[in-house]
Chain A
Amino acid sequence: MLDTKSTGSKIRNTVIHIIVIGLGLACLLPMINIVAISFSGSAAVSANRVGLLPVDFTALAYKRIIEDSQFWRSFRISVIRVALTLVLNLVITVPMAYAMTRSKGDFPARNIYMNLLIFAMLFNGGMIPTYIVVKNLNLLNSIWALILPGAVPVFSVILLMNFFKGVPKALEEAAIIDGASQFQVLLQIMVPCAKPSIATVSLFSIVGSWNDFFGGLIYMQRVEDYPIMTYIQSLNIDLQELVKNAANSAALENVAELSNRNLNAAKIVVAVIPLLIIYPFLQRYLISGLVMGSVKE
């Protein structure tokens, strides 16, 4: 805009537009492709003839999803998981972050806790020991196994802590003079002020628990209990292992049915819809959250 409208700047502007639009398309087209596959006939899909538009348009795959009870069971498990994780994360991280904003004088143990938090973020016992703990708490096959191990997202604590620090001290002091307890300060002053950052950590929590597949793989001992992403992941597996190991029993009928690509594509599309619904919020808050998060302690 500052530029004089020379030919050079016009060319430059055009090139920039082309590049930016190109990058945008690069992100968009693969998604359109998968949607197109989900609406195409299976013959066209196996022949790889589907580009950006459905070939032999059919909604059959979606019809079959509606009848697929396992898909919906997994879907429901994921919805419940996301809701419970969200509540738990907030109940834990908000007070914790607030306590972490206190000075050493106010809260002598503050640095010990902070170090414990950070060490736990950087270091862990690994898959097997964590599994043993979860198992000994009798959480296997329970939705809590997908929730409790991730109850304390340390990064969210830090993010909230940084935000709380930005809340003017005067507000807090006024409340304390009025006789408010620290809990009241937290709930009545901090939380309302920190709405945007709470929204941010909420969305972290939602996206993270919706997208996780590995927890289900480890802690769920049967397919019926899989959350949605674990279920979808199990569809992507190679069948060759399966067939190879079972070739002796004559029980391997309908192998092809498992590799129904348009059906799998439709499952993917449906599994992504919840994220698309909250996407406007995601965009708004996660971006502000990310910018905030990079300004640290």
Chain B
Amino acid sequence: MKKTKSSIKSTRTRNSLQYHAMVFPGMVFLILFGYLPMFGLIMAFQDFIPAKGLFGSQFVGFKHFAYMFTLPDIGRVIRNTLIIALGKIILGMLLSIAFSILLNEIRLKFLKKTVQTIVYLPHFLSWVVLAAVAMNLFNIDGSVNQILASIGLEKINFLGSNNVFRKLLIGTDVWKEFGYNSVVYLAAITGIDAGLHEAAAIDGASWWKRVWHITIPGMLPIILLMTAMNLTSVLNAGFDQIYNLYSPIVYEVSDVLDTYIYRIGLVGRQYSFGAAVGLCRSIVALIMLVSANKITEKLTNQRIY
């Protein structure tokens, strides 16, 4: 009996060593490129002078954080971030859900497959490419404006108007992602018991009623889960997209945290200030994710991570 126990133990230790070995290579990279740079965040509390390094630079406490809140820019940047991110999340989800419900009604296999193939495609393309596509379409003489003009509407300066640019950002992002995001919803719809629909149809329930009372409730868990997941990215308004589409004329409505940190903290060489803004952003994001995870766990018994 004793012998077996110790042999189990030694197997465990041996296995455990093997597991450590499996994790090891990844951990090396994680420490190098994930954790090591975190020491750099110290510079948020310093007047960081590169020549003096992190230990040589003078500590100034929360100076940069305090300064941040005196800047009129920061309010604007946060507002833009929230509006753009929430706009993308809400409209994106609505369109994906609607699209998946509609697509589910298509009985022609060929049509359904073709449409799916097409709408998933933009998701896989880089914003570098799609920004060029969007600029061709939406510049003032572009195709979209020519269509507007041909039906007698006024041209819209999509890329240069503070009234429209944010909508363009949200719209193009929704366009890029709705197809791909509909995949999970489509899966959820397929999972709904077909018997329910049949029973309801026999009872004479209209299509709308069935969608409203059967399909949507059936999708609800996944909708809640996706909402929680998406809300964690509310501070992430999409650097790649905005960086490739914006210009100084629309900074007012499109400068978001990430672009701001890039411009001030990197190009503008205000390292410490940039780090301070970045740190705040990360902390808020972390808090949001943890709470979203808790909420999801309560609501759906699933965890985001």
Direct contact of A and B (CB under 8 A): yes
Q: Which of B135-149 contact A (CB under 8 A)?
A: 135-137, 139, 141-143, 146
Q: Are B137 and A33 in contact (CB under 8 A)?
A: yes
Q: Are A124 and B117 in contact (CB under 8 A)?
A: no
Any A CB within 8 A of the CB of B115: yes
Q: Are A123 and B286 in contact (CB under 8 A)?
A: yes
Residues of B in contact with A, size category: 35 or more
CB distance from A78 to the nearest CB of B (A): 11
Q: How many residues of A contact B (CB 8 A)?
A: 98
Q: Which one of A59-67, A127-135, A193-201, A247-255 is at the B interface?
A: A127-135
How far is A16 from B103 in the complex, measured between Cα atoms in Å? 8
How far is A1 from B30 in the complex, measured between Cα atoms in Å? 53
Any B CB within 8 A of the CB of A7: no
Q: Are A37 and B136 in contact (CB under 8 A)?
A: yes
* A residues in contact with B12, CB < 8 Å: 105-106
Q: Are B29 and A92 in contact (CB under 8 A)?
A: yes
Any B CB within 8 A of the CB of A188: no
How many residue-residue contacts, CB under 8 A, span A and B?
254
Q: Are A113 and B23 in contact (CB under 8 A)?
A: yes
Q: Are A33 and B143 in contact (CB under 8 A)?
A: yes
User: Among the listed A116, A126, A210, A265, which residue makes an inter-chain contact with B37, where contact means beta carbons less than 8 Å apart?
Assistant: A126
Q: Are B118 and A120 in contact (CB under 8 A)?
A: no
Dominant secondary structure of chain A at its interface with chain B: helix
Decide: A132 near B128, CB < 8 A? Known: A28-B118, A106-B15, A296-B304.
no
Any B CB within 8 A of the CB of A86: no
User: Among the listed B143, B175, B183, B225, which residue makes an inter-chain contact with A51, where contact means beta carbons less than 8 Å apart?
Assistant: B143
User: Among the listed A99, A121, A233, A297, which residue makes an inter-chain contact with B303, where contact means beta carbons less than 8 Å apart?
Assistant: A297
Any A CB within 8 A of the CB of B39: yes
Q: Are B201 and A31 in contact (CB under 8 A)?
A: no
Q: Scoring A residues 199 to 229 as 1 if CB is less than 8 Å from chain B, else 0, what string do you get?
A: 0000000010011111000000000000001
Any A CB within 8 A of the CB of B198: yes
Decide: A19 near B119, CB < 8 A? Known: A9-B207, A27-B179, A96-B22.
no
Q: Which of A139-171 contact B (CB under 8 A)?
A: 148-152, 157-158
How far is A221 from B15 in the complex, measured between Cα atoms in Å? 45
User: Among the listed A2, A23, A133, which residue makes an inter-chain contact with B197, where contact means beta carbons less than 8 Å apart?
Assistant: A2
Q: Are A20 and B129 in contact (CB under 8 A)?
A: no
Any A CB within 8 A of the CB of B220: no
